[in-house]
């Protein structure tokens, strides 16, 4: 699905570099070992600035979603906007693709797996049902 390209900042560059390499990266505090997302220079749990970027497993669970029947162009169909919880702990907003956008096909707790969609010169992490990604 084509769409707007992201505008990376120096702080988010490792995230976008990981996506280009087919890795979903989040930050991890080396003091308390907490993984977290969205990118920031300090741990939201303990406040330490001793943080590093780590590749995740790419596995997640569907926590919540909305089916947007009025997506922005160039998309022409319903779009699943989702809150997913990564296996490592953090939650993030993304899209669920590769499944019919109906409540019957999107049970909460559904196992998901990250895949990447090209958007201009960047790759965007989106999620698909775990069995569909194999």
Please give the structure tokens belonging to residue 34.
């907490």
Asked if the model's pLDDT at residue 1 lies above 80, the reply is no
DSSP annotation of 132 reads G
Question: CA angle 91-80-18, nearest 5°?
Answer: 50
For range 18-40, the mean pLDDT: 96
Asked if the model's pLDDT at residue 13 lies above 70, the reply is yes
- CA distance to 23, 34, 47, per residue, from 1 (Å): 19, 33, 38
Q: Kindly state the percentage of the chain with pLDDT values over 70.
A: 93
Please give the structure tokens belonging to residue 66.
């909305």
Range of weakest confidence among 10-14, 27-31, 57-61: 10-14
Asked if the model's pLDDT at residue 88 lies above 60, the reply is yes
Q: What is the pLDDT of residue 72?
A: 73
pLDDT digits (tens, 9 = 90+) for 63-74: 999 999 987 776
Q: What is the pLDDT of residue 3?
A: 61
Which residues, 6 or more positions from 125, have their beta carbon under 8 angstroms from its beta carbon? Answer: 19, 24, 94, 114, 115, 116
pTM score of the predicted model: 0.91
pLDDT digits (tens, 9 = 90+) for 93-130: 999 999 999 999 999 999 999 999 988 889 999 999 99
CA-CA distance, 10 to 25, in Å (whole number)? 15
Q: What is the pLDDT of residue 132?
A: 61
* Structural domains in the chain, sorted by start: 13-133 (2.40.50.840)
């Amino acid at each position: 699905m084509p769409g707007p390209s992201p505008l990376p900042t120096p702080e988010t560059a490792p995230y976008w570099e990981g996506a280009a390499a087919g890795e979903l990266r989040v930050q991890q505090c080396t003091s308390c070992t907490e993984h977290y997302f969205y990118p920031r220079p300090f741990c939201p749990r303990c406040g330490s600035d001793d943080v590093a970027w780590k590749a995740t497993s790419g596995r997640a669970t569907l926590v919540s979603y909305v089916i947007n029947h009025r997506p922005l162009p160039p998309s022409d169909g319903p779009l699943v906007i989702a809150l997913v919880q990564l296996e490592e702990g953090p939650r993030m907003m993304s899209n669920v693709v590769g499944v019919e956008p109906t409540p019957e096909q999107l049970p909460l707790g559904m196992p998901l797996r990250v895949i990447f969609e090209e958007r201009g010169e960047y790759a965007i992490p989106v999620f698909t049902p775990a069995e569909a990604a194999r």
